[in-house]
Amino acid sequence: MKVASFNVNSLRARLDVVVDWLVESKLDVLAVQETKVQDADFPTDAFDKIGYKYVFRGQKSYNGVAIFSKSRAKNVRAGFDREPRDEARLITAEINGVAVVNTYVPQGYMPESEKFDYKLNWFDRLVGLFEKNFNPADCVVWVGDLNVAPLAIDVYDPVTLLGHVCYHPRAHEALKRATDWGFVDVFRMHCKDAGQYTYWDYRMSNSLRRNLGWRLDHILATRALAEKSTACYIDKGPREAERPSDHTPIVAEFAV
DNA sequence: ATGGTCGGCAACCGA
């Protein structure tokens, strides 16, 4: 089972990149974030044509998440329980017996802002969802743009960037509270190298060429599933496309 | 060197 996560920064603007890469990579599951499309305008035709199923939750202008899969998704849930009007940042589904949690974690703006508190609290709400709906002994894969670079080797300048909302002790603690529920960083099981990034800021000149990036996009799995992982890697192909997102996909393969 | 990113969506906001 091949699973990937990709912050597409507008699904409609990135449609060709996403469709071509999805077909070429032969993915069983692709979770995308920042679709920036309302449900009524979701580009279903493009995915019908290539034989992929889809579930999605979007909103106008911002956020939005979707999961594409070869097999039909079951037990689909969008958003946190009892908060149907929340931002479109969370969708979960069961695919081939694996629970897939796709998140677009709030970025947090600035450390002193309310938005940062919202971000930190968002992780704790997610822990509540894990506790209520899953068991750490089950096969669960949590993927998405988590907007946290966990380690010093996950950012291009850990000294200068320390205290940024995506590389902040409180963000690290919040992520740890969530992973302590029962998740393993599948990428780090397979690769210990520094400088392995999934995001390069558009606003920095030549950030990709200079590899001034961040590892913000993650594939985490419960121990039962992580033990079956055979590979995990970042695919820079889509970041080098003609009209790239500022993120690039991360891919994991599982023997399930 | 007086410029320097995207996308959504229609003036700015978010990243």
What is chain A's pLDDT, residue by residue, as a tens digit (256 residues)? 999 999 999 999 999 999 999 999 999 999 999 999 999 999 999 999 999 999 999 999 999 999 999 999 999 999 998 777 899 999 999 999 999 999 999 999 999 999 999 999 999 999 999 999 999 999 999 999 999 999 999 999 999 999 999 999 999 999 999 999 999 999 999 999 999 999 999 999 999 999 999 999 999 999 999 999 999 999 999 999 999 999 999 999 999 9
Distance A73 CA to B7 C1' (A): 29
* Total residues found in chain A within this entry: 256
Distance A137 CA to B7 C1' (A): 40
Distance A233 CA to B11 C1' (A): 41
Q: Alpha-carbon distance A204 to A245, whole Å?
A: 14
Q: Alpha-carbon distance A190 to A61, whole Å?
A: 36
**Nearest protein residue to the C1' atom of B9, measured from CA:** A61
Cβ-contact A111, A66 below 8 angstroms: no
Distance A205 CA to B5 C1' (A): 9
Q: Alpha-carbon distance A176 to A255, whole Å?
A: 26
Q: Which residue has the tokens 């397979």?
A: A190
Cβ-contact A231, A153 below 8 angstroms: no
**Nucleotide nearest residue A38, measured CA to C1':** B8
